[in-house]
Amino acid sequence: QMSQRVFSGVQPTGNLHLGNYLGAIKRFAEMQSGYDCIYCVVDMHAITVWQDPAELRRSIREVAAAFLAAGVDGEKNIVFNQSQVPQHAELAWVLNCVARLGWLNRMTQFKEKAGKDRENASVGLYAYPNLMAADILVYRATHVPVGEDQKQHLELARDIAQKFNNDFAASIAANGLAEKFFPQPEPLIAGPATRVMSLRDGAKKMSKSDPSDASRINLTDSADQIAAKIRKAKTDPLPLPDAVEELKARPEADNLVGIYAALSDADPAAVLGEFGGAQFSQFKQALVDLAVAKLAPINAEMQRLLADPAHVERVLGDGAARAEAIASETMNHVKDIVGF
């Protein structure tokens, strides 16, 4: 019986924000007590769009520092960057040959990221979900904590795992391996902040690439910056409702209440129990206090870690060696299965 293993990743593309924290990184730390966890800085995903090399290198360390600062233990878990474990790329090629063109054509994130000039998008941006499937399957991970935006990619990874198991069923058996060679990875998308929205536009997700810095709270923002952004966050003119159902028609209120709930480990109903009927000015002040109390220590620890790059590099190097030990075992089996 295989153990329950968690895999997840974050791209080193700058501007780590509150959505990355609440949708992913905060949960990475919470899962480490119950699972064998592998957390990856997915630098090979980052280069699907142009990255300045010096900036990329800095960003890799910053994401690793964010994992550690948020409470991920780099000794009990594996923390590393993707490019240092060659089996990700190796398995991705095999999976490129398993996934169907029609499956990738349905990926909505590619359409969003490629924009209008699709002919000029990199082939990597298009094939990215196959590499993501390889990231997960090379560790035969069973659980993947991610934000809502990754749901479709996880479904694809499940389809790829199943097709591989079916296409090679005879060879898997002939090699004496378990019928379900690749387990079906299960997305863990839970809690009130699986899709944190922009502070400027309730219809857009909070994103690293939004040109408006005021649209997101960066993990490296100062207390003053956090306060200013929350005070300026777009809202409607009504006081907060008493019932969560009333949030549905009020995206900005829904977002701020969700953020408050996630940061305080409460549910939105409990937050409205406290703030229902309050004006936004009052609620926003409470949110500023909460966000600063939760994020300032993480920011301070990130700065401390970034001032000591040797430590972060050591964690990444050690993590890569331990990751490769697992990944190479899977890849050796895959080669036998495929007939290499």
Rounded distance between C-alpha atoms, residue 27 and residue 150, angstroms:
15
Question: Which residue lies nearer to ligand ADP by CB, 10 or 331?
Answer: 10
241 binds ligand ADP (CB under 6 A): no
236 is known to lie in a ligand binding site: no
273 is known to lie in a ligand binding site: no
Is 180 one of the annotated active-site residues of the chain? no
82 binds ligand ADP (CB under 6 A): no
41 is known to lie in a ligand binding site: no
Question: Which residue lies nearer to ligand ADP by CB, 78 or 219?
Answer: 219
150 binds ligand ADP (CB under 6 A): yes
List 188's β-bridge partners, or say none.
145
* Edge-first strand listing for the sheet containing 36-41: 78-81, 36-41, 5-10, 143-145, 186-188
Residue labelled with tokens 């536009």: 201
Contact region with ligand ADP (CB under 6 A), list: 84-92, 133-141, 188-196, 285-293 = 188-196
311 binds ligand ADP (CB under 6 A): no
Instruction: Identify the active-site residue in 26, 205, 229, 284.
Output: 205
Contact indicator for 199, 230 with CB cutoff of 8 Å: yes
19 binds ligand ADP (CB under 6 A): yes
79 binds ligand ADP (CB under 6 A): no
Closest CB 98 distance from ligand ADP, rounded Å: 23
Residue labelled with tokens 């900005």: 252
196 binds ligand ADP (CB under 6 A): yes
Is 205 one of the annotated active-site residues of the chain? yes
Question: Which residue lies nearer to ligand ADP by CB, 101 or 190?
Answer: 190
185 binds ligand ADP (CB under 6 A): no
Distances (CA, A) of 338 to 52, 227, 305, 329: 37, 55, 43, 14
180 is known to lie in a ligand binding site: no
146 binds ligand ADP (CB under 6 A): yes
Rg (CA), the chain: 21
Evaluate the CA torsion angle 63, 150, 107, 38 in order and state its sign.
positive
13 three-class SS: coil
DSSP code for 213: G
The CB-nearest residue to ligand ADP is 23
Cα angle, residue 175 at apex, residues 173 and 179 outer, rounded to 5°: 35
20 binds ligand ADP (CB under 6 A): yes
Q: What b-and-e string marks burial along 34-67, b requiring 16 or more CB atoms within 10 Å of the CB?
A: ebbbbbbbbbbbbbbbebeeeebeebbbbbbbbb
Would you tell me which residues interact with ligand ADP (CB under 6 A)? Answer: 10-11, 13, 19-20, 23-24, 146-147, 149-150, 193-196, 205-208
Which residues are catalytic, by number? 113, 205, 208
